[in-house]
Structure 1
C-alpha cells in the first residue's frame, strides 16, 4: 500500500501538469488561427495564475492611456516562487558585490510594437510549455514575462485586422487585410515608438515598466519584434557598432545564445541571419538599455509585422502564416531560457563583475543652468534610479560641453553633480558622455543624445572629485503673496515650466502680456519674452487673486516678481507697444497621410501631456472642407507626402488664411510642400555641382551613401535672441539634426541657423557631403505674410519627446511670434 501511495505521490505533479489547458484549449481556437485580443490574453494568464499559483504569479504594474492593464507574469519552480522576494534581494546585492545569488533572471518583453503582433501569441505558448514540458528550466531560473508591452497598439491592430480580413483570410499581399492605414497599431496611444523610449521615459508605459525593471535588473532581456515579410529571422549576436562599455562577456554570451537558437533553426530548416542591421549603440532600445544595466540585451526579429496578417505570400512565393511566426518566436524564447538555465552561475559571476568599479574617463558630470531644466533632468534621473547631488560651490575643470574643449566652470549650490562611481555608473557614462565612440558609422538609429545638450545645460565632464550634498536650494515664489493691491506680477520666460504656467493662465482666463524688449523694474532685470500679469488687465476676472494663488500652488517652480509700478527703470513701460497681449490661440494640427505618425504623435503628446493646452486634430481626408478661420494656428507635422498633398488649391487655401492673420507652423518634411510655392520665403539650398566623376565599387554603395546622411548628430547653432521665436535662449543652441534637408537663411527671419563654421557636429555622425550641404542654412525661422506668420522648423525641437531644450521654441511659435 505504501509503495502504491508513494508512486501516486510521484505521479501527482505530472497529473497536475497535464491538467493545464494549452492556449488553444483555453481560447477555443487553434493558436495562430486568429489574433487574440488583449483582454483574452490576460484571461489566459489569469487562468494559469489560478491553476498553477505555486509556479506563476501575475502582477499588474500599471495601465495604459486607454486604461488597459499592464501585467508581468513571474514564472519559476514552486520553491522559487514562494521565495521570490528573497531571490530578488539577493540578486540585487550582486550589484554591490555582495550576496550569493544562484538563480538566473530572464525578462521577456513581447509586443512593444502593437502591430508586430505575433509575439504576444507566442508568449502564451512559451509560458504554457515552461509550466509543462520545460519546467526543469525553472529550477534555477526566474522568468519574468511581459506578454504585451503595448496593449493599446496591439488592440488597435487586432481590431482593424478582424474588421478587414477575408474569411478565413487572404494570402494575396495586395488584399486589404495586408494594408494597414496611417493610424497603425505600431505605436502607443500617442503614436510614440515605445522601443525608443527606454532611456527618455516620456510615455506612461515606459515609466511604469522601468520602475519594476529597476527592482529586478535581470541577467537577460529579450525584446521580441517583427520586420519585413520577406526577411528571415534575426537573432543575436548584434551588428556593429557595439558601444565601448559593452563587456567581452556580454558579446560572447550573445554568441552563445545565438548558436543555441541556430541549432533549433537548423533542425527545422528555418532561415535566419545574425550580426547585421541591429546594432548596440543608441541607449533607448529594449536591447541596449538593458545591456547598459548589466543584462544580455537582445532583439529578436521575425518576418511579418502588420502586413502579414494570418497568412501572406512572400516575395519568393512561399506562404508565411501566423503559426509559422509563432513557432519561431516560441523557439527562441525557450532557447533563451534554456541557455540561461545552463549558465546561471556564470551569469551571476559576470553580472557582479559588470557592476564593479569602472575606470571611466570622467568621474563626475557637473551641470549648471536654469533651475527648471535642472529639475527636469533630476526627475529623469530619479526614474532611472541614478544617484546625484548638488555642488557646494567653487569651480570645476574638465571637458566643457559648450566649447568642445578643456576648460573650467564656476559652480553654485544649484549645480547638479552626477557621479559615475555608483551602481548605475555605466548608464551614466552612456547618457552623459559628450560623444559616443563609433566603431562603425553605419548605424540603425541616431548617434548622439548627450543629456547636457538635450536639456540645454552648461556642463563640464571632470576626472576630479566634486563635493556635493543631497539637495539644491530653492528660491521662494510669490505664492501666497498675490493680492488685490499689487500693480502686477512678472514671470521669466526661459523654460517649458514657464510655458506650462502661461498655458494654465490662458486656460483660466487670466490676461497676460509679453515683453518684446529687455527691461528693469523695481531693481530687477527681465529679458525678452517675460510674462507680465497686471491687476488692471484682469479687473473683470471672476476671481483673479484666487485663480493666481491656485495656479502658483499648482506650479511651485514659478518664481514671480511683484511689480509695484508699470514705470520701468529702463526699457519699455508696460503700456508700450512693445509690451502686448499674449493671445489665447486656438490651435489645429493636420493628421493623416502626408504626416508621419511619429511626428504627429510628438506634437499631440506635447500639447496634452506636457503643455496641457487644447488642440484640434484635422484629418487630411476632410481638411479641404474645414473652415480655417475657426483657428489661429495650424501645425503641419513632419512627413513625407507634402509635395503631392500641397496642390494648388490647398496651398491657396492656406496662404489666404495666413494673409488674413493665421499662423502656420511647418515642420520638417512639411516645409518641402511649401517650398515649391514662390509665395513662401523658404527655399531649398542649391547644392554645388561636383564636376569630378568617380566610380565606386558595387560593394561600397552603402558606405558611399552615408556620406550624404546625418544620422542624428548634435550641432552648435547661432541664435538671434531678439527674434520672438528665440525668446528665452542665449546666443547658441545645440540642435539634434536628423537628416541633410537644407534651406537657405530667411532674410530678416532667421532665428536659429548654421554658419559655414558650424556644419561639423559636436557629437554624432554626419557624412562629409552632408556637412557641406548644411553650411549656412536655416534651423528655425519665420516669415510675415500679409497679416499672418509662417514659422519654419527645419529641425525637430520635439524629437521623441526627450530633446527638452527645444520645447520652448515650440511654445514661442505658439505664443510669442505674432
Structure 2
C-alpha cells in the first residue's frame, strides 16, 4: 500500500510544486557546490522544458571543463552537422590514463593472449540515450546522471568513479531529438495540458523518432546505413563496453520495462545462453530494487525483442557485453493523462535516472564477472567456429566491383576478418575467381558476427516477432556466396583493395560503352545527364570491338555516342572521365558501330534514356521509413535530387512537370475526385508510378489498376483461448523474411543483373497474383522460396502464388508494384537496382 501511495503521489504531484522540490530527483543527497547544477546552468529544472541538444552538449562541455573527473569527445557529426558527443566520467587518475585502460581492456577480446588481471580493471559502462528522438526522457536523465556522478557525495557515486569508466551518449539521434523537443516546447501550455488529444502530444510527419533521412537508428547497428551508427560503431569497437544501457520510451499507459525479454523467442540465436539466463537475472535485481525504492511499477519477460542484431540492446550481446533495453511509459510532452493518472515528464525522467544509477552500480559490483565473461565470450566463439560444418564462407560478384567493396566494408566495420582468395573455386555450381572473391573463416573471434552475416535461419522456437525475423546480410547485398567445408586463405585484408579506373586514350571514337552491372552505374548515368550528355541504352546484348579488345555488353549497357551531343568531343571526354572517377565505372570505347555479335549500336533496340523527373508524395498517411529509404538511396547512392511533396499539396502540382511518381506505402484517400482524375490522366498519357506495398492496395481500390490478389482459405476459425489471441494473430504477420525470386533477365527492370535468382525482402501480407499479361511479372518467387525468417504455412503458400514485382499497363503509362521493399533499411543493395531501373527505364516497360 505504501508503494502504491508513493506511485500515485509521483504521478499526480503538481508541476509547480514538483519543480520547487530540489529533492525530487535526489532525495537526501548532498552535492559538491563547485559543480554547476543543471538548473543553474540551463535556467530551469529538468523536466520543466525539453532540453535542446545544443544546450545539453554545452552543459556536458561545461562539466568537462569544470572537473578533472570528466572529458568529452566528439566522435562524429550527424547529417545536420550536430556533434555526436560522449562524456566520459571516472576518477582523475583514470581520466589521465584512459588510453592505457582502453588498451588493457581490449586484451580481453583476444583469446590468443593471457588473461589480464581483471580484479584491478575498471568496468567499462556505456549509457546510451534517445536513439529515438521523440523518446526524450533519456536525454534529460543523461544530464542528471552526469551531474550526480560528478558532484554527488554519495559513497556509491565515489565507488562508481573509482571502479568504472562511464561513457554517456546523451542522444544517439540528435537531429530527431531536436525535432521533437522543438515540437513539445512550442506547444507547451501554461499550465501544461494533459489531454492526449492536445497538439503537444501528437507530432506531425515526420516524427522525432527518426533521423534526418527518416531512418529508425535503433535498427541500424547491423546495416550501418546511417552516419550516426557508423560513428557509434567505430567508437564501440575501440572500447567493447561490459555494459550498455539502451534507454527508450513506450506507450503512455505502460509502466517500465527492463530485461530479461521474452525467453527464447525474443533472444538472438548466436548469443550464449549464459547472457540471458544468468547475467540478465543478476542485473534485473538491481533494477527492481531501484524502482521499488520509489514505488514505480515495472515488468519483464513478456515482450520486446533481442533477436534482431541491429538493436542497440542486442549488438553488445554479440560483442561479449550486456546490452539492456529499458522502456519507460512516455509522457510525450510535459504531462499527459494515463490509466494511472497524469504522467509528468519529470516522473519519466526520474525512472530513467534511477535505472541509470542502478546500471552503473550493477556494472561496478559485477565488473570482475563481466570482464571474465567478455574473455569467455570470444574464447567460446573461436571454439564454436572451429566446430562449424563450414570452415569458411567464400563470396564475391564477378561483375560488380562496387557491391563487393560495400560488402567488404560492412564486414570489416564489424571487425570480421576477411582474407584474399588464392585460387579459383567452384562450390555448389557457383564459381569464385581469385581476383574477384574473398574468404571469411569461421574459426575467428567474431564467429558469431560471421553467422549473422551468412547464416540462413528458418527454424524458430516461437512464431511471434517484434521485428524482422531474417537479417542475413550477404543475401541483402545480393552477393554470391557459399559455405566451404575446406578452405585456403591468402593474406588478411586490412583495407578495401584500391580500384584503378583506366580510361580509354584520347582518340576518335564512335561511342563510349559502359556495362550497367556495377552498383554505382546509376550514379554515373545521372552525372552525365546532369551535364547534358545524351545517353542511350541497349535492350539486347552485343559484343563490341573496344580499346581493350572484344567485350560482351549485356542488356542494359549504356551507349554514349560521340555524335548527337551538345558539346565538343573534348568536353564529352572530360565529363565522362569525371563521372567515371566519381562513380568507379569502367568506360570502354569503340571506333565502329558494327558489333562483333548481337545488335549494332544503331539498332532500334538501342534507345535514348530519358532524364528522370521524380516526384515523391510524403506526409501524413505515408510511411516515413519507406520515404526516407528512397530519399537516402537517391541522395547518397545516386546523387539525384528528388522532389518530396507533402500529399496535402497535391492540388497545387502539375504532374506533367514530372515523368515519375513514387508512392511510398500509404493510403492516399485524402485525394479528391478532381485530383484522382488528374493522376489518371497523367498516367494514361505516359506517366510512371512506382508503388510500394500498401499504396498498391490504394491504387487498386481507386480503380487505377486492375490486378488480382491471392485469397486465403475461408474456413471456420479454430478455438483460440482469449489469453493466446495476440500470439495467434502475430503468427500470421510477416515481420521480415527473405525469399528467393526468379528474375526475367530480358525485362528492362532486370538491366544490370546477371543471375536469374534474386533474394528479396518481404515484410507485408500483401499477396498480389502474377499479372495476366505473362510478360508483366518480372520478379516472381521460386517454387521453394523461403531463405530466412519465420512464415506460417498458410502465408508461405500465398507467397508461392504471388509476384514480387508486377507491372500494370494503364494506357500509355504503367504502374510498377513493388510488393517487396527493394530499399529496406538502406541495406538491400541487391534489389536497389530494381528500383533505380524503374526510375531510369520505366518508359521502356
Per the normalisation by structure 1, the TM-score is 0.93
Displacement after TM superposition at 1:646 (Å) = 4.9
Partner of 1:187: 210
Matches within 5 A, 1:674-685: 674-685=699-710
Displacement after TM superposition at 1:482 (Å) = 5.0
Q: Which of the numbers 425, 443, 455 marks the counterpart of 1:421? A: 443
Structure-2 separation of matches of 1:667 and 1:61: 36
Structure-2 separation of matches of 1:683 and 1:751: 13
Q: Say if 1:178 and 1:476 are closer, same or farther in 2 by CA, change over 3 A.
A: closer
Matches within 5 A, 1:63-82: 63-82=77-96
Displacement after TM superposition at 1:660 (Å) = 2.0
CA contact (8 A) 2:538 2:605 kept: yes
Displacement after TM superposition at 1:755 (Å) = 4.9
Structure-1 separation of matches of 2:253 and 2:694: 29
Matches within 5 A, 1:201-350: 201-239=224-262, 240-241=264-265, 242-251=267-276, 252-304=278-330, 308-316=332-340, 318-350=341-373
Partner of 1:155: 178
CA contact (8 A) 1:798 1:807 kept: yes
Deviations 1:78-103 (A, max 9, x none): 11111110000000111113333411
Structure-2 separation of matches of 1:529 and 1:78: 63
Structure-2 separation of matches of 1:290 and 1:463: 30
Q: Say if 1:647 and 1:776 are closer, same or farther in 2 by CA, change over 3 A.
A: farther
Displacement after TM superposition at 1:33 (Å) = 1.0
Deviations 1:413-456 (A, max 9, x none): 32121123333222122222122753322221111111221111
Q: Does 1:365 align with 2:380?
A: no
- Aligned Cα root-mean-square deviation (Å): 2.1
CA contact (8 A) 2:470 2:788 kept: yes
Partner of 2:411: 381
Deviations 1:734-771 (A, max 9, x none): 1111122111112144344445724x512111112211
Unaligned stretches of 5+ in structure 1? 1-13, 401-406
Structure-2 separation of matches of 1:801 and 1:483: 39
Structure-2 separation of matches of 1:455 and 1:750: 25
Deviations 1:16-60 (A, max 9, x none): 9232122122212111111111111111111111110x2100011
Q: Say if 1:260 and 1:227 are closer, same or farther in 2 by CA, change over 3 A.
A: same
Q: Say if 1:15 and 1:784 are closer, same or farther in 2 by CA, change over 3 A.
A: closer
Secondary structure in 2 matching 1:17: coil
Partner of 1:137: 160
Structure-2 separation of matches of 1:196 and 1:246: 18
Displacement after TM superposition at 1:561 (Å) = 2.2
Partner of 1:761: 786
Partner of 2:76: 62
Which range moved further: 436-445 or 709-718?
A: 436-445
Q: Number of residues paired by the alignment?
A: 787
CA contact (8 A) 2:661 2:690 kept: yes
Partner of 2:749: 725
Structure-2 separation of matches of 1:539 and 1:670: 40
Q: Does 1:596 align with 2:615?
A: no
Secondary structure in 2 matching 1:249: helix
Structure-2 separation of matches of 1:477 and 1:756: 38
Q: Which of the numbers 524, 528, 534 marks the counterpart of 2:561? A: 534
Partner of 1:466: 488
Q: Say if 1:382 and 1:106 are closer, same or farther in 2 by CA, change over 3 A.
A: same
Matches within 5 A, 1:647-726: 647-690=672-715, 692-726=716-750
Structure-2 separation of matches of 1:311 and 1:451: 42
Q: Which of the numbers 601, 605, 622 marks the counterpart of 2:632? A: 605
Matches within 5 A, 1:164-179: 164-179=187-202
Displacement after TM superposition at 1:410 (Å) = 4.6
Which range moved further: 182-191 or 530-539?
A: 530-539
Q: Does 1:18 align with 2:14?
A: no
Displacement after TM superposition at 1:409 (Å) = 4.9
Deviations 1:146-185 (A, max 9, x none): 1111111111111111222212310111111111112211
Q: Does 1:811 align with 2:836?
A: yes
Unaligned stretches of 5+ in structure 2? 1-28
Structure-1 separation of matches of 2:727 and 2:50: 41
CA contact (8 A) 1:723 1:751 kept: no
Partner of 1:112: 131
Q: Say if 1:436 and 1:247 are closer, same or farther in 2 by CA, change over 3 A.
A: farther
Secondary structure in 1 matching 2:602: coil
Deviations 1:3-27 (A, max 9, x none): xxxxxxxxxxx99923212212221
Displacement after TM superposition at 1:534 (Å) = 1.4
Structure-2 separation of matches of 1:105 and 1:768: 46
Matches within 5 A, 1:476-555: 477-479=501-503, 481=504, 483=506, 485-522=508-545, 523-538=550-565, 540-541=567-568, 543-555=571-583
Secondary structure in 2 matching 1:387: coil
Structure-2 separation of matches of 1:257 and 1:559: 55
Structure-2 separation of matches of 1:680 and 1:722: 24
Structure-2 separation of matches of 1:126 and 1:205: 23
CA contact (8 A) 2:184 2:334 kept: no
Structure-2 separation of matches of 1:166 and 1:174: 13
Which range moved further: 785-794 or 155-164?
A: 785-794
Displacement after TM superposition at 1:650 (Å) = 3.0
Q: Which of the numbers 50, 54, 62 marks the counterpart of 1:47? A: 62
Displacement after TM superposition at 1:408 (Å) = 6.9
Structure-1 separation of matches of 2:708 and 2:324: 44
Structure-2 separation of matches of 1:187 and 1:693: 39
Q: Say if 1:703 and 1:118 are closer, same or farther in 2 by CA, change over 3 A.
A: closer
Which range moved further: 385-394 or 623-632?
A: 385-394
Q: Say if 1:247 and 1:321 are closer, same or farther in 2 by CA, change over 3 A.
A: same
Matches within 5 A, 1:563-578: 563-578=590-605
